[in-house]
Amino acid sequence: MKKIFDVVSENCSRNVTNLYSTSFSMATRLLHSSIRQDIYNIYGFVRFADEIVDTFHDFPKKDLLNRFEKDLYHSIKNKISLNPILNSFQITVNKYNIDSGLIKSFLQSMRWDLEKKVYTSNNDYKEYIYGSADVVGLMCLKVFVKGDSEKYRKLKSSAMSLGSAFQKVNFLRDLNDDYEKLNRTYFPEINVDEFDEESKHHIILEIEKDFKLAHKGIFKLPTEARLGVYTAYKYYGKLLYKLKKTPSLKIKKSRIRVPNYQKMGVLLNSYLKYQFNLI
């Protein structure tokens, strides 16, 4: 009867995605049904790990993360976990033979969120982004190409660039929350207290470079994945545009959002382009 438990587990991962992220869940719904659930499974895993380090302040976060990691590897090896989020994730890991190195890099970045507060070197900054974002893009890419090693190799750099772009947009959007609530500063050589237009411009240029590198790969994705990924790309592009137009002082003091009606506009525009074979 494990099949029923697996369905329950995957329903949990889908619910986590829908409740925690309207934008990501919107994009995921546009993926083909043959790959959609596996992306929910990946998101559920990374979301729970992120919640441990970012949210559970009244609990022993290091102990929770240690237990989460131990249970994770046990679930992958034995193909079962009574934690439904880990059970659904192991299904996807084993189905597509997702590299354990990607998972270890992700968990390392989560550990850094418990230990590191300021990123002063570019090397640490890049390593953190690789672990927290690039590898998530690579896990998803494994699903998008359905385990095809050659397609994965060709699209790997674009997937990493897209993951980096998304994460850096998040850093800029959450600049105030990360600094005031979590006492974290991710951008090296940026003093949040002195954050100004020049600092913002430097970050924007860096993100735009990542988006440019990522854009080429989106059009080479299998059709089952292209619309969903393109919609996420356009949504983050819209958010970046808003951040670009927002004064640095306001970014430093508040969290910039894309209204739901604009998200729906991104969705409609992306869908129409897809229907007319423009993506």
Cα torsion 155, 156, 159, 160: sign: negative
Is the pLDDT score of 97 beyond 90? Answer: yes
CATH classification of the domain holding 175: 1.10.600.10
Is the pLDDT score of 274 beyond 90? Answer: no
Question: What's the total number of domains in the chain?
Answer: 1
The whole domain housing 88 covers: 2-275
Is the pLDDT score of 1 beyond 80? Answer: no
- Tens-digit pLDDT profile for residues 104-120: 999 999 999 999 989 99
Radius of gyration from C-alpha coordinates of the chain: 18
- Tens-digit pLDDT profile for residues 59-84: 999 999 999 999 999 999 999 999 99
- Tens-digit pLDDT profile for residues 118-176: 999 999 999 999 999 999 999 999 999 999 999 999 999 999 999 999 999 999 999 99
Number of H helices, E strands in the chain: 14, 0
Is the pLDDT score of 279 beyond 90? Answer: no
Residues paired with 185 in a beta bridge: 118
Q: Looking at the chain, how many residues does it have?
A: 279
- Report the candidate in 3, 28, 2 with the shortest Cα–Cα distance to residue 15: 28
For position 190, what pLDDT does the model report?
A: 86
